[in-house]
């Protein structure tokens, strides 16, 4: 497919479990972003990669959240010891370039429910 792909589409985790969310960006896209969207809210920035380098992780809410993009393409967002407040849709976006006004394309998101 030509778009950003995220998996799984839905994830239910018991409180305390670790989860890993995958993002396949559009091929060749340099920039990759993760956002968290709570129900009825706008997306909130988590972290940004330029190729394999994580240049901004200021939005990660705690040290239980960890993101990586080891080869500059696929990215994984890992949440350790999940808590109920982690329940949200996690969105990934990618853009072709580094320029500020480069259009970002979003995936459909992974809906995480912590029970």
Find the binder of another protein among 2, 42, 63, 71 (CB under 8 A). 42
Q: Judging by beta carbons within 10 Å of its beta carbon (0-12, 13-18, 19+), is residue 10 exposed, middle or buried?
A: exposed
Residue 107 interacts with another protein (CB under 8 A)?
yes
For another protein, which is the closer residue by CB, 12 or 16? 12
Tokens of residue 11, six digits = 């994830």
* Alpha-carbon gap, residue 108 to 10, rounded angstroms: 11
Interacting residues toward another protein by CB under 8 A:
4, 31, 33, 37, 39-40, 42-45, 48, 50, 55-56, 58-59, 89, 91, 93, 98, 100-101, 103-109, 111
């Amino acid at each position: 497919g030509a778009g950003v792909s995220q998996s799984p589409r839905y994830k239910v985790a018991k409180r305390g479990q670790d989860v890993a969310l995958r993002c396949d960006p559009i091929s060749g896209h340099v920039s990759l972003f993760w956002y968290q969207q709570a129900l009825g809210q706008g997306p909130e920035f988590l972290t940004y990669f330029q190729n394999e380098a994580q240049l901004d992780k200021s939005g990660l809410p705690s040290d239980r959240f960890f993101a990586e993009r080891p080869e500059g393409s696929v990215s994984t967002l890992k949440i350790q010891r999940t808590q109920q407040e982690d329940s949200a849709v996690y969105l990934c976006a990618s853009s072709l370039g580094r320029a500020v006004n480069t259009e970002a394309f979003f995936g459909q998101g992974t809906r995480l429910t912590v029970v």
